[in-house]
Structure 1
Amino acid sequence: MPELIKLCALADIAEGTARGFAPEGGARDTMFVVRKDGQLHGYRNSCPHIPGAAMAWRKDAYLSHDGEYIVCAGHGARFAIGDGQCLFGACLGQSLTPVELTVKAGSIWASSQDSPPR
């Protein structure tokens, strides 16, 4: 059974923002969490157009200017926050890889099975 990995306190991600994490250690964020409309959405930090390519152009910059979409900085693809579906760009019809999240005791946790291998 996969264990849970603590990412941060729920209060550390404000409504309408995103934050990247490297739960397995290392300098590069391998997953990110978006808080939108009171819900949390977790995804691997990897664009389906070029697997392994980081989504953000700088630390925690995963969202469009208006906060309505997740954007790949590499080629501008836009993804729905709720389900990770590509709505515009080179990977149209593909999706981001979801990360299962749990909220308990005021903290956000990710399943270790969703964490990329070291």
Structure 2
Amino acid sequence: NWSCLDAHSRVCMSVGTYWLVLSMAYYQVGYTLCHLGKPLPAVATAIILTGVVILLVYVDLFAGTRKLIASSALLLAGPLFVAIGACLQPLGSVETPWWSVAAGVTHVALSLWFWHEG
């Protein structure tokens, strides 16, 4: 019984760490791109922080190469879609760009992927 609780806590801590680092990537894109107007550092920081999450997934999960590539693509898609959407959005526009909607869809797909992989 104790091993089940230990495994559950490890999974919760791992997934919580993934979402924390990804939220930092989204924040960096929003702050650096929208407030400072610097697209290259915003995208570079998003890729670096997403790379940290990919390394954590590689270390934490025992997945094959195909599963790691699929999860890496889903992890990279969210911050990159948000960065592209923020770059292409006209200044002063109040509409939500389609790229940001695509980022939300990939975020849901990533959650479902992690849930499916168990």
Q: Same fold (TM over 0.5)?
A: no
Bigger share in strand: 1
Larger Rg: 2
TM-score w.r.t. the length of structure 2 is 0.23
Relative contact order (C-alpha < 8 Å, sep 6+): which is higher? 1
Bigger share in helix: 2
TM-score w.r.t. the length of structure 1 is 0.23
